Structure 1
Amino acid sequence: MTSKYRLTIFVSEDTFPALKKAGYRLCIAKEVNGKYDVAFQTVKDIVYQSDFEFEERFRVFGTRKFEVGETAQPFTRKVPLLSGQELTLDVDGVFSPASGPVDPSKPFMVNNQYAYPLHFGVDAVVDNDYNTAFVHEMAVLSGEIFMAPKKKLLIWFDKGLETGMMFNHTVSNCLQLDFTETNDLTISYAAPSKTAPEKGIWSFGPLPVLGQTYHPETNTFSLTPAILPSEDELRRLGELLRLEPPTHSKRQLAITANGNA
């Protein structure tokens, strides 16, 4: 299976302007060592459709601290490697080139010979650029350090995070995605209220579209009776679409092509 995988995110047109106005960002974190602790990618300009491409290429580095709300400042050079490979950080803080066979099912390893504690971090690729995806929260001393990036992502909206920023708070109203068996996923998000856009619902697949039939002789659309909602739901749907509430039977609802009821 290719190391590249793609994600498409739809946010309903009634929700994304409210999210932007409230100061939310679309946030993506990548699982490494069973954790999510860095904002791998954030998007301030939330729009109807966002597309991302990820690739399982990595860089490893050492940093002196894990600080919530800050971006990791590398203390060592950042060295590229792939899953299954290994490298050495010597007593002077110099990395060797990566070596060994590539195996996507295995972690990569740092043989740390440096005499002082460091936090080790991982960069991964999103949209052809390296972004920091993980930093060890606890500093480690000399020895073998294993890091296991997974093709798993966490998606949510947050006000305080920027790309590359470390965090340790619990993420709420999120969706976890697993690309282990697929290279392409589409998800969607919609909130029932513009005043609380952060309380929306995540779903797999594109935003739902009601079944409808076009009538050329009258230039109208009619909803499919089998999926027609209740009268109360139709009133709320009318408000959502900025239409007049229906005054006739729900099985005779017709919506004209230019948006008038």
Structure 2
Amino acid sequence: MSKSIAVSQHSQQLHNDVQEAVKSIMGATQLKAQDYNKVLRSTLAATQKVVTIEIASGDLTLLKKSGYKLCFAKKVGDEDYNVVWQSYVAYLSNNEFSWTPQYQLFASNVFKENVQVKVSTNIVNIGLGQTSTLADSGLLSQAVTGGPDTSFTFVNNYAPIHPGVNQLSTGIDGNQVSTPIYVAVNPVVTGNTVLTPVETILVWFEQNVQTSTMFSSSRSKAIEIDLTFENTAGRLYEDGKWKTI
């Protein structure tokens, strides 16, 4: 699936979700376009998380000369960070990275460190409080309502496999993409697996790493940023150390 198609599908899913929520409140009245746009903007504004990463001049020069990339990862449940959500070579002194709670579910046949994620199944849009089933044919169903409100549920009727999660982000380059934030390190057996995205990210610099690369070891000089109860945060990298701004 292309990045543009993924973003378009996410936008359509959000449109449908907002319409259904408002129709439920208003007694099945279709929302006018202008009112819908107001609701959509307010919904996104309330749920968008934004991190600003500033890099001091001396550090920026050194990092660029040494071929380091600016990297982000995101948590799912109590698991360790294990996928490079995004990595950027074209970072500058001031960089803004943001995301909204728009997810996709997939499954992979393998988790392997230092290898980019290989999606083995179809990909489906899924929201918090929804469930998708991997049939014995290996096909993921469209998400339906069901499961914990702060999680989504992967029902495995296939065989041992690694569930994975994509999330929509807006990069430091201003481009929206939906890429993996998580792949289960160990395959899950048949039954239900509850996946809970956490609003905590990891930021670090690393050489020779690509977006969607799986990893299992800790990242050098990384900082964890918790946005569970905040929508914005800022950090400065100066003299090889992270500072809150």
Q: Give the TM-score, by structure 2 length.
A: 0.76
1:177-204: CA deviation from partner (whole Å, max 9, x where unpaired): 111111111111012xxxxxxxx11011
Aligned-residue offset at 1:33: 2.2
Distance 1:138 1:36 in 2: 14
**Equivalent position SS for 2:61:** helix
User: Counterparts of 1:204-223 in structure 2 under 5 Å?
Assistant: 204-205=244-245
Structure 2 residues not aligned, in runs of 5+ = 1-42, 171-175
Task: Give yes or no for contact 1:109–1:144 (8 Å, CA) kept in 2.
Answer: yes
Pick from 165, 169, 180 the counterpart of residue 122 of structure 1: 165
User: Counterparts of 1:70-85 in structure 2 under 5 Å?
Assistant: 70-85=115-130
Which protein, 1 or 2, shows the higher relative CO under an 8 Å CA cutoff with sep ≥ 6?
2
Residue in 2 that maps onto 1:62 = 107
Question: Aligned pair 1:51/2:96, yes or no?
Answer: yes
**Equivalent position SS for 1:14:** helix
Residue in 2 that maps onto 1:3 = 47
**Equivalent position SS for 1:17:** helix
1:131-165: CA deviation from partner (whole Å, max 9, x where unpaired): 11000011122110111111110111111321110
Pick from 162, 171, 178 the counterpart of residue 219 of structure 2: 171
Question: Aligned pair 1:152/2:200, yes or no?
Answer: yes
Task: Give yes or no for contact 1:82–1:102 (8 Å, CA) kept in 2.
Answer: no
Distance 1:102 1:113 in 2: 17
Distance 2:124 2:187 in 1: 19
Question: Aligned pair 1:142/2:142, yes or no?
Answer: no
Structure 1 residues not aligned, in runs of 5+ = 192-199, 206-261
Residue in 1 that maps onto 2:57 = 13
Aligned-residue offset at 1:101: 6.0
1:77-117: CA deviation from partner (whole Å, max 9, x where unpaired): 111111221111111011111111697x6221011100x32
Identical amino acids, percent of aligned pairs: 26
Q: Give the TM-score, by structure 1 length.
A: 0.71
Distance 1:154 1:119 in 2: 22
Task: Give yes or no for contact 2:154–2:163 (8 Å, CA) kept in 1.
Answer: no
1:150 maps to a residue whose letter is: V
Q: 1:117 to 1:101 in 2, by over 3 A?
A: closer
Pick from 142, 152, 155 the counterpart of residue 111 of structure 1: 155
Distance 1:123 1:156 in 2: 20
Distance 1:204 1:26 in 2: 17
Question: Aligned pair 1:30/2:74, yes or no?
Answer: yes
Name which one, 1 or 2, has greater alpha-carbon Rg: 1
Task: Give yes or no for contact 2:131–2:144 (8 Å, CA) kept in 1.
Answer: yes
Distance 1:124 1:106 in 2: 15
Distance 1:150 1:84 in 2: 14
| Runs of 4+ with >3 A deviation | none
Aligned-residue offset at 1:43: 1.0
| Residue correspondences, number | 195
1:207-241: CA deviation from partner (whole Å, max 9, x where unpaired): xxxxxxxxxxxxxxxxxxxxxxxxxxxxxxxxxxx
Residue in 1 that maps onto 2:13 = none
Aligned-residue offset at 1:172: 2.7
Cα root mean square deviation, aligned: 1.6
Question: Aligned pair 1:97/2:97, yes or no?
Answer: no
Residue in 2 that maps onto 1:203 = 243
Residue in 2 that maps onto 1:255 = none
